[in-house]
Chains A and B, each alone.
Chain A
Amino acid sequence: MMRVWRWILAIIIGAWLPIVFITWWWNASAESTNPYFPPLSVIWEQFKVNWIFELVPVHVVPSIRNLLVGFLIAAVIAIPAGTLIGASRSGTRYVEPVVDFIRSIPPVALVPIFILLLGLDAQMRITSIAFSASFPILLATIEGVRSTNLVVLDTAKSFRLSRSAILWRVRLPGAMPTVFAGLQVGFQIAFVVTIASEVLGSGFGLGAFTLIATDSFLIVDAWTGVILLGILGYLLNLVFDLVERISLRWYYGQKKLS
């Protein structure tokens, strides 16, 4: 009983600030004549017209599809590559500086390059997303595999496991908490690059919709786009956290005990 109350209390404590904020916004903007800050009630009406669910198939679905496809390609390439590189000490020494350099370039800045090379279509967008997202994943995997727990490694060797079994069944799983940290960064980059590739590449997609609305002074539409992007950004992050929690149950269980 007390647990349930605690849970409810935690929700109330977490929710009062946003509720106060939204109420304040709603009331303060009610009489607004500033064209750039329309009343929240007007934005909300337009939000319902646009996104529940009229334009979702046209603008949201392709964006999310590109995001997920690009991110998955990045993960599928970067995790095995990182595992192989991380397992070899000299491999790490040679590869890391170059990867580190490319990673230091703002991911969005790479989009113009891909536009030059591939044009403006979905293929360009997915390539941009996959390319940019793969570097943090690659670096994290290298780091995770390199710093395998030595006791675990010795135990595995004493069981006479083959080299490849040690690599894929011992070192990679042990590296997963670090890999997930890289995946998370990669996922956030993928989200940003998704928007950037639409904005810079013009056409369909939520990012493009919002910027075109801005350029055409459809201010209410622009606001709905920004709000939806914000909510999507938060929700996608939440889903990612959930997947991580489930995949790394052993890790969080162990951490809780210590």
Chain B
Amino acid sequence: MPAIIRRTPAGVISTIVALLIWQFIGSFGPLAGDSFATATEAITALAGLLTDSVFWAAVGQTLHMAILGFIISIAVAVPLGLLIGLSRFSYRSSKFTFDFFKVIPPIVIIPIAILAIGPNITMGVVLVIFANVFAVAIQTAYGVRDTDPVLLETMRCYRFNVIQQVLHARLPSAAPQIAVAIRLAASAALIVAVVAGLVGGAPGLGNLLMRYQSGGQVDKTYAVLLALGIFGILVSRLIVRAQRRIIFWTGR
């Protein structure tokens, strides 16, 4: 193996190979034609989009829906989950209901959302909240309930009151669980914001993708997909980094 290949990171090599394969299929395979963009076409179109204000407006709208919905879900779900998790009765009472709504994908309620709210940014925000609030709340509640009983008993021996127990034991104990839920919620927020545009007609990248597709602008359709993949990777990297810093005591 030539030295230059050995020294290049695997990710770079595989990306180049994947792009070459994509280019080849787009040029020679049975799929080649007007409805399939080659790698070069897609990347050229993406470069074009990067200087296009329409694209950046769509990015802004999608991020608006994703971030606002995400923040509201967390702000509602974590305190709610904390309350639910404090007693065994409230936890068991809520478990079934929350699990039920947790597994229902937001795409299911899009028709109702279109009717009740209309195809706009608010609808996107509501869908993001619906997608996340149940999962984060029940996961938080689980984490709170799952606090080590030995730790709680130690605190009771040292005469800590209930509020101190929540602040110093239950909440930090639940933090890893909450972090996992939040990480999933962040990825889901982006995806749902896009789906709201694709299926529900809300503004943003999903809508742009749909417009390019139905307008036959194949290269731009692929370019938006590339952009979505890049955003997705960036979001998950960012969250993992933040998580390592905040919950430093796990995975030591």
- Please tell me if B109 contacts chain A, counting CB pairs below 8 Å: yes
B93 and A13 form a contact (CB under 8 A): yes
- Please tell me if B28 contacts chain A, counting CB pairs below 8 Å: no
* Majority SS at the chain B contact face: helix
Question: Which residue of chain A is the closest to B89 with respect to CB atoms?
Answer: A13
A104 and B108 form a contact (CB under 8 A): no
A191-225 contact mask (Cβ, 8 Å, vs B): 1 or 0: 11001100110000001001101100001001101
A200 and B199 form a contact (CB under 8 A): yes
Hey, which chain A residues are within 8 Å of B198, CB to CB?
106, 108-109, 111-112, 196, 200
Hey, which chain A residues are within 8 Å of B112, CB to CB?
36, 214, 222-223, 226
- Please tell me if B2 contacts chain A, counting CB pairs below 8 Å: no
| A237-B93 contact in complex given A36-B115, A93-B10, A200-B199, C-beta closer than 8 Å | no
- Please tell me if A229 contacts chain B, counting CB pairs below 8 Å: yes
B20 to chain A, nearest CB (A): 12
A73-106 contact mask (Cβ, 8 Å, vs B): 1 or 0: 0000000000000000010011101101111111
**Total interface residues on B, using CB and 8 Å?**
52
- Could you tell me the distance between the alpha carbons of A37 and B233 in the complex, rounded to whole angstroms? 39
Between B107, B222, B224, B225, the greatest number of chain A beta carbons within 10 A of the residue's beta carbon is seen for: B107
B10 and A188 form a contact (CB under 8 A): no
A59 to chain B, nearest CB (A): 14
Hey, which chain B residues are within 8 Å of A21, CB to CB?
97
- Could you tell me the distance between the alpha carbons of A100 and B209 in the complex, rounded to whole angstroms? 21
B2 to chain A, nearest CB (A): 16
- Could you tell me the distance between the alpha carbons of A97 and B18 in the complex, rounded to whole angstroms? 10
A209 to chain B, nearest CB (A): 10
Among the 9-residue stretches A23-31, A113-121, A157-165, the one with 4 or more Cβ atoms under 8 Å from chain B is A113-121
B14 and A94 form a contact (CB under 8 A): yes
- Please tell me if A230 contacts chain B, counting CB pairs below 8 Å: yes
Hey, which chain A residues are within 8 Å of B69, CB to CB?
none
- Please tell me if B236 contacts chain A, counting CB pairs below 8 Å: yes
B15 and A116 form a contact (CB under 8 A): no
Hey, which chain A residues are within 8 Å of B225, CB to CB?
105, 109-110, 113
B228 and A225 form a contact (CB under 8 A): no
Hey, which chain B residues are within 8 Å of A2, CB to CB?
none
A205 to chain B, nearest CB (A): 13
Hey, which chain A residues are within 8 Å of B96, CB to CB?
14-15, 17-18
Hey, which chain A residues are within 8 Å of B100, CB to CB?
18, 230, 234
- Could you tell me the distance between the alpha carbons of A13 and B91 in the complex, rounded to whole angstroms? 10
Question: Which residue of chain A is the closest to B94 with respect to CB atoms?
Answer: A17
- Could you tell me the distance between the alpha carbons of A15 and B89 in the complex, rounded to whole angstroms? 12
A106 and B14 form a contact (CB under 8 A): no
Question: Which residue of chain B is the closest to A212 with respect to CB atoms?
Answer: B111
B residues lining the A interface (CB < 8 Å): 10-11, 13-15, 17-18, 31, 35-36, 89, 92-97, 100, 103-105, 107-112, 114-116, 190-191, 194-195, 198-199, 206, 209-210, 213, 218, 221-222, 224-225, 228-233, 236
A residues lining the B interface (CB < 8 Å): 10, 13-18, 21, 36-37, 90, 93-95, 97-98, 100-113, 115-117, 188, 191-192, 195-196, 199-200, 207, 210-211, 213-214, 219, 222-223, 225-226, 229-230, 233-234, 237
20 more CB-based (< 8 A) A-B contacts, given A14-B96, A191-B105:
A14-B93, A17-B93, A36-B116, A97-B14, A105-B228, A105-B229, A106-B191, A108-B194, A108-B195, A109-B194, A109-B228, A110-B225, A115-B213, A116-B36, A195-B105, A196-B195, A211-B199, A230-B100, A230-B104, A237-B103
